[in-house]
Structure 1
Amino acid sequence: MGRIILYIIVIAFIIAVITKFFYLLVAGALGYWAYKQFKKSQTKGSKQTLTYVLGAFAGVFLILFVVSLSSDTANKTEPIAVVDTKEDSSSNSETKSNTADVIETSQSSDSKGKQTQGNQNNHNRFPATLVEVTDGDTLKVTVEGKEEKVRLLLIDTPESVHPEKEEQPFAKDASNFVKKQVAKGNMELELDVSERDKYGRLLAYVWIDNKMLNEQLLEYGLARVAYIYPPNTKYVDQFEEIQKQARVQAKGIWSIENYVQDSGFVELKPAIEEPVVVTQAPSVEKNNEVKNEPIVTNVYYKNCDAVRAAGADPIYEGEPGYSRKLDRDGDGIGCER
């Protein structure tokens, strides 16, 4: 029994050698045959034609052996394509650690890539649930059961709830736009390198159904590019390009001349329109007595800012200065807060 096993091992070894070195063995056999033929022909003084043919075939098989050997070496040294689980695990660890004071994130990718919405790498995103829209650039969310304040990165919208400032133009528009967008689908947060500001708020790019809210606010002229603090500059180039287009088209905040400055939004003092005074022509009564009718004064307000500055808000239908353009919903009450 032991001898049979030994024979099997020897045969297997021979087969392995033949398989691995087949071309080399054939080349060696042909080379040896060519050598013997050379000696034989030399002794007889005959032509060496067969010797040359055998030598050529031996060379061909030798080349084939070298090629196969090189191919095997290349296959061994070629790196194996593996799915990079490091990034995935990093993403998972982000989600799990959202309840901690600091959320771990992967390094941001180069913003020069100009990744389009819908094709963004979402490994750095994690789900969040909306609690409240504070204003156009600030939200309250819950992440893994913990409530967090979120500040949208790289943008600034007009103030609507500032304790020391009055509501600025387009502030409510920005806030309402955000409320409308976040109601459309699932929310995800994407952090950059630095995760929080000095107030402890999360700094994030907010995604709703694979569309970035930061970009949409810029696109519709409801925000400006601002607060660019390295290393949180992942999307700054494309943000500035979007802002440029909105400014050219005079959308939203860009429709008011000099409203947007590098320092922020300029406080505009509403202009109160001078009342238009219309005096009726004197009427002539009997006995040729001339009597002036009472002066009728028409008040005109350019916009609701002018109404508020005059202390006339809300303004009701029938009151001096009321017009339908001040009453967008047509309920008879204009310039409602």
Structure 2
Amino acid sequence: MKKYRFIKRTIIAILITTLIVGCGTMEDTGTNATTPTETKTAIKEERNTSQHDQVKVEKDEKSESDPQNESKKLGDMVEVTRVVDGDTVNVLYNGKEETVRLLLVDTPETKHPSKPVQPFGPDASSFAKEILAGNQVQLEFDGPKRDKYDRLLAYLWIDGVTFNQMLLEQGLARLAYVYDPPYTHFEAYMKAQNRAKNSETGIWSKEGYVTDEGFYYQDDEEKAVHKAEPKAEEASNDLSYDPEGPDRDCGDFDSQQQAQTFYEAAGGPDSDPHRLDGNDRDGVVCESLP
């Protein structure tokens, strides 16, 4: 009988212990377990957070080159009154006509006083006229605002992109004149040039044509010498100053003929970097001189 009671008590003890352990497990499960609904909610929140972070990164990356953000640094709209060549234009700026030299790009020559027309020079000029002539653009300055010829140095923004980069993309210009780094758009321009170079577009289609100093074409030297030979009547005229030297005005010359010779040597009437022709652009300069 005593043995039966002992066994009975042992069984009851085991049952009570099992019940207590089971309750503890259920309590733990109720506290820590995640239901399917909670799991889906957590995944959704994590996904939304990830998407939010990705959108933020994309916006941050876009802000570096977004024209809407860039426009905060740009000046007022100005009109392109004349395309001189691929990398030089005239604009109406602050009530007067100014010459703008495009930053960081160099196109082949078309109107240089001592160099012949170089391959892709006319293409660059035609492209500039097609995109810019008579249109509104915005100027962005980056570093010194003017060069030694008193020309404005700027990026030209049109339709949300810079024309400077368009020239590089088209293989119509080389990246050049990096005088005052760092420049805002240098990296983007380098990538644009590399794309044109890798695809052998435009100036990059001629092996050895693009150099660190400019453009070299095997016929350039012979043509330049021929072009530089003055006509008989021109030889007698005195060229007082270097056409590529410092900026000159009519007061620097003793006579109208002297100024006219200098003007034509500097590229006139197609180009007038020294602005000797005034506003009438009749090809006759410094008409007040004797």
TM (normalized to structure 1)? 0.45
State the distance in 2 between where 1:265 and 1:222 align.
11
1:140 aligns with 2:90: yes
The 8 Å contact of residues 161 and 167 in structure 1, kept in 2 or not, is answered as: yes
Q: Secondary structure at the match of 1:174?
A: helix
Is 1:171 equivalent to 2:92 in the alignment?
no
Distance in 2 (CA, whole Å) between partners of 1:121 and 1:174 is: 26
Residue 236 in 1 paired to residue 186 in 2? yes
Tell me which residue corresponds to 1:318.
none
Which residue of 147, 161, 166 corresponds with 1:211?
161
Q: Distance in 1 between matches of 2:141 and 2:67?
A: 17
Local SS of the residue matching 2:187: helix
Deviations, residues 6-25 of structure 1 (Å, cap 9, x unaligned): xxxxxxxxxxxxxxxxxxxx
One-letter identity of the residue aligned with 1:205: Y
Structure 2 contact 82–134 (Cα < 8 Å) conserved: no
Aligned to 1:269: 219
Deviation at residue 144 of structure 1 after TM alignment: 2.3
Q: Any gaps of 5 or more consecutive residues in structure 1?
A: 1-111, 271-304, 306-337
Q: Deviations over 1:32-53 (max 9, x none)?
A: xxxxxxxxxxxxxxxxxxxxxx
Q: Which residue type is aligned with residue 240 of structure 1? A: M
**Partner residue, 1:196:** 146
Preserved CA contact (<8 Å) 1:117 1:211:
no
* Equivalent position of 2:72 in the other structure: 123
Paired residues in the alignment total 162
TM-score (norm 2): 0.52
In structure 2, list runs of 5 or more residues that go unmatched: 1-60, 224-290
AA aligned to 1:217 is L
Superposition deviation, residue 229 in structure 1 = 1.1
Q: Once the two structures are aligned, what percentage of the paired residues are identical?
A: 44
Structure whose alpha-carbon radius of gyration is higher? 1
Q: 1:235 to 1:124 in 2, by over 3 A?
A: same
State the one-letter code of the partner of 1:150: V
Q: CA RMSD in A?
A: 2.5
CA contact (8 A) 1:186 1:209 kept: no
CA contact (8 A) 2:81 2:133 kept: no
Q: Could you give the per-residue CA deviations for residues 252-282 of structure 1, whole angstroms, max 9, x where no partner exists?
A: 0000010001111013228xxxxxxxxxxxx
Structure 1 runs of 4+ with >4 Å offset: none
Aligned partners of 2:97 and 2:178: how far apart in 1? 26
Select the structure with the greater relative contact order (CA < 8 A; seq sep ≥ 6): 2
* Residue 181 (structure 1) shift: 0.7
User: What code does the residue aligned with 2:98 have?
Assistant: E
* Aligned pairs for 1:243-258 within 5 A: 243-258=193-208
One-letter code of the match for 2:167? L
